Chains A and B, each alone.
Chain A
Amino acid sequence: MRITVKLFATFRKCRFDVKVREVPPGTTVSDVVEEMRLPGSIGIIFVNSRHADPSHELSDGDTLAVFPLVGGG
């Protein structure tokens, strides 16, 4: 199945902003995240604009957005 992965802030360094990827069914958020070996801890995960846990199982066509902990205001 195909998913879109988006990275932000420090996670983009030496990686990418957006990428469409082919993953096997049953892939979880943490499978995708671990494979990318992101530096530092994960702050915010959205799947299709909703907060999701690392254990969330992805479906075909999902958009996964991963941020480090960020803030401002």
Chain B
Amino acid sequence: MDKILRVDMGAEGGPKFKTEPVGEFAGLGGRAMTSAIISKEVHPLCHPLGAENKLVIAPGSLSGTSASMSGRISVGCKSPLTGGIKESNAGGQAAQVLARLGYAAIVLEGKPEGDDLYKIFISKDGVEVSVDNSLKNLPNYPLIEKLKGQYNDRAAYMTIGTAGEMKLLAASIACTDPEKRPTRHCGRGGTGAVMGAKRVKAIILDDTGMKMREPKDPEKFRNANRRFVEGLRKHPITGEGLPAYGTNVLTNVLNEAGAYPTHNFRTGRFENAANISGEVQAELEVKRGGIATHGCHRGCVIQCSGVYVDKDGKYVTKQPEYETVWAHGGNCGIDDLDVIARLDFLDDNFGVDTMDTGAAVGVAMEAGLIPFGDGAGAIRLVEEIGKGTPLGRILGCGAEVTGKVFGVERVPVVKGQAMAAYDPRSVMGIGVTYATTTQGADHTAGYSVGPNVLKSGGDLDPLKPEGQVEMSRNLQIATAAVDSTGMCLFIAFPLLDQPETFQALLDMIGAFHGITLTGDDVTALGKSILKMEREFNTRAGFTKHHDRLPRFFLKEPIPPHNVTFQVTDEDLDKVFNW
């Protein structure tokens, strides 16, 4: 990973590319790389869909090695959804393949004139940027079907669906899984719209003839990886719960905790939650001949994913994640897993974020477009996105736009991005993260749900404001660092609970670079990333007043605990004081 590919999509006479040494960005991966390039090279006041914005794609610093779990890819840009800096990450095969091809980043720059649609093919023999207008208006699944025949079986794909072509604000970038299904999405923040604005429909990555990246100290690296995997296997969350039930194991937990946002954040409990729980989902998958344990990329030992099939055993979609089951399920009063799976497929196919789309449907229900609980209606609404009707475009721009267009006050967003499946009133720690992260409401930016509700990585009362700022701060710092390694964030559970597993990861990174790494180095990296991102957002016009939850969270108590969000503004302003 010693080079950066820059493709100027707006060059005179058609797109031009150059490969340059990694230079000042050497050693950075994932989020550290995307945020460094965006904060240095993108004008913070630029229009996100304009020529001045850049789309940076970066594998993690350990991607492409034999390190387990290292297949996450980061995509960065100025977000059309939030107007701030964005790092959106996903699994799938792309990170490993891109890293083995030797690229620390791909930077898409400029914007072509005209309507032509491009694809970019990268292999050991070099780079080809070509016009392919036959791909126009293809959703992700048919797009991959069409492309698959033209490339080597090893190829990984990063694509946009119809939503990305339409530059909708919730448009995602799909990454193919090991079976080449477009199921793993950089969902958040509208990265797909930026790729669409640059008229790039597909990036095809083929690492045929390339080898794994070699660590400086292979023996030490292997040993550390072994200890790391042992740690993941013995921790109940990564060794048992996630493989057996997937992320949706959380439905029952959050519902029991009274923190499961239901009917567009009106109450914290969904009476039919049991019907869509991870336990029921896994049982159904196994009974129908689907798969309940599946890795989104080769080298994942946790395997939280799965394959959801219909009653005849036919593929519907990948196992919908907890956040998706919530956004399209409980949030909308829908308790039918088949409906939710269909919605997950539609989201993946059109290429939109399942969270912002589910939240938008919830807001539309609140506005009275369809009643809460109307599964068929929800499918109809999401199909509108694929058709590109005015209503579909509104919904595909996410919850905030939908709320504005339909005059809804209860819109669960921060910096324009929808919240996830945890009510910030009954999990105050996640409220701090939603409010203050550079990313717009994003649970993964500092997953305080762990210590608040799951009692992993600490123990804080979710219904009290005390200690939440410090907890969120520490988690945001650690997360920024993990997001730079290419490691799946779920390693954080054993990392925080088992010091020896954290040490194994430090040793592994150290052995790769031939250095000794300490916990302080990790903290310093995390802080430096957050600092760059905060500064970008400040220059883009963000102030402390943007680090706030919508006021209804402070005014409307949520049942069953009847609490409001109680962390004060003054305390929220301390999150980044370190």
Interface residues, chain A, CB within 8 Å of chain B? 6, 8-10, 12, 17, 40-41, 43-44, 46, 49-51, 65, 67-73
Is B128 engaged at the interface, CB distance under 8 Å to the other chain? Answer: no
Q: Which residues of A contact B347 (CB under 8 A)?
A: none
Is B454 engaged at the interface, CB distance under 8 Å to the other chain? Answer: yes
Q: Which residues of B contact A8 (CB under 8 A)?
A: 249, 252-253, 256, 279
Closest 3 CB pairs of A and B: A72-B247, A71-B237, A69-B236
Q: What mask results when residues 450 to 478 of chain B are scored 1 for a CB within 8 Å of chain A, else 0? A: 10011110000111000000000000000
Stretch at the interface among B139-147, B187-195, B238-246, B533-541: B238-246
Query: Assuming the A-B contacts A41-B236, A65-B256, are A51 and B250 also in contact, with contact meaning beta carbons closer than 8 angstroms in the complex?
Result: no
Interface size on B, residues (CB 8 A): 45
Q: Which residues of A contact B489 (CB under 8 A)?
A: 73
Q: CA of A68 to CA of B253 in the docked complex: distance in angstroms?
A: 10
Is B447 engaged at the interface, CB distance under 8 Å to the other chain? Answer: yes
Contact in complex: A70, B279 (CB < 8 Å) = no
**Known contacts A43-B456, A68-B236, A71-B241; 7 further A-B pairs (Cβ under 8 A):** A9-B252, A41-B236, A51-B455, A69-B454, A70-B249, A71-B238, A72-B237
Query: Assuming the A-B contacts A44-B454, A71-B454, A72-B246, are A10 and B257 also in contact, with contact meaning beta carbons closer than 8 angstroms in the complex?
Result: no
Chain B residues 314 to 328 lying within 8 A of chain A, measured CB to CB, are 321-323
Contact partner, B253, options A17, A41, A70, Cβ 8 Å? A70
Q: Which residues of B contact A12 (CB under 8 A)?
A: 279
Q: CA of A36 to CA of B241 in the docked complex: distance in angstroms?
A: 20
Q: CA of A50 to CA of B248 in the docked complex: distance in angstroms?
A: 21
**Considering only CB atoms, which chain A residue lies closest to B236 in the complex?**
A69
Q: CA of A50 to CA of B321 in the docked complex: distance in angstroms?
A: 25
Is B1 engaged at the interface, CB distance under 8 Å to the other chain? Answer: no
Q: Which residues of A contact B245 (CB under 8 A)?
A: 9, 70
Contact in complex: A70, B241 (CB < 8 Å) = yes
Query: Assuming the A-B contacts A12-B279, A49-B561, are A44 and B248 also in contact, with contact meaning beta carbons closer than 8 angstroms in the complex?
Result: no
Q: Which residues of A contact B236 (CB under 8 A)?
A: 40-41, 43, 68-70
Measured between C-beta atoms, what is the minimum distance from A15 to chain B in Å? 12
Contact in complex: B447, A44 (CB < 8 Å) = no
Residue of A6, A9, A51, A71 ringed by the most chain B CB atoms within 10 A: A71
The 27 listed contacts between A and B (C-beta, < 8 Å) are: A8-B253, A8-B256, A9-B252, A10-B240, A17-B274, A40-B240, A43-B454, A43-B455, A51-B257, A65-B256, A67-B253, A68-B240, A69-B236, A69-B237, A69-B241, A69-B456, A70-B236, A70-B237, A70-B249, A71-B237, A71-B450, A72-B246, A72-B249, A72-B278, A72-B304, A72-B322, A73-B444
Residue of B244, B449, B455, B489 ringed by the most chain A CB atoms within 10 A: B455
Contact in complex: A9, B256 (CB < 8 Å) = no
Is B258 engaged at the interface, CB distance under 8 Å to the other chain? Answer: yes
Chain B residues 321 to 368 lying within 8 A of chain A, measured CB to CB, are 321-323
Contact in complex: B247, A9 (CB < 8 Å) = no
Q: CA of A72 to CA of B444 in the docked complex: distance in angstroms?
A: 10
Measured between C-beta atoms, what is the minimum distance from A5 to chain B in Å? 12
Contact in complex: B257, A49 (CB < 8 Å) = yes
Is B443 engaged at the interface, CB distance under 8 Å to the other chain? Answer: yes
Q: What mask results when residues 473 to 512 of chain B are scored 1 for a CB within 8 Å of chain A, else 0? A: 0000000000000000110010000000000000000000
**Considering only CB atoms, which chain B residue lies closest to A66 in the complex?**
B256
Q: CA of A50 to CA of B257 in the docked complex: distance in angstroms?
A: 6
Q: CA of A72 to CA of B236 in the docked complex: distance in angstroms?
A: 12
Measured between C-beta atoms, what is the minimum distance from A71 to chain B in Å? 4
Contact partner, A73, options B240, B256, B447, Cβ 8 Å? B447
Q: Which residues of A contact B269 (CB under 8 A)?
A: 49
Q: Which residues of B contact A73 (CB under 8 A)?
A: 247, 250, 322-323, 420, 443-444, 447, 449, 489-490
Q: CA of A70 to CA of B256 in the docked complex: distance in angstroms?
A: 13
Contact in complex: B443, A9 (CB < 8 Å) = no
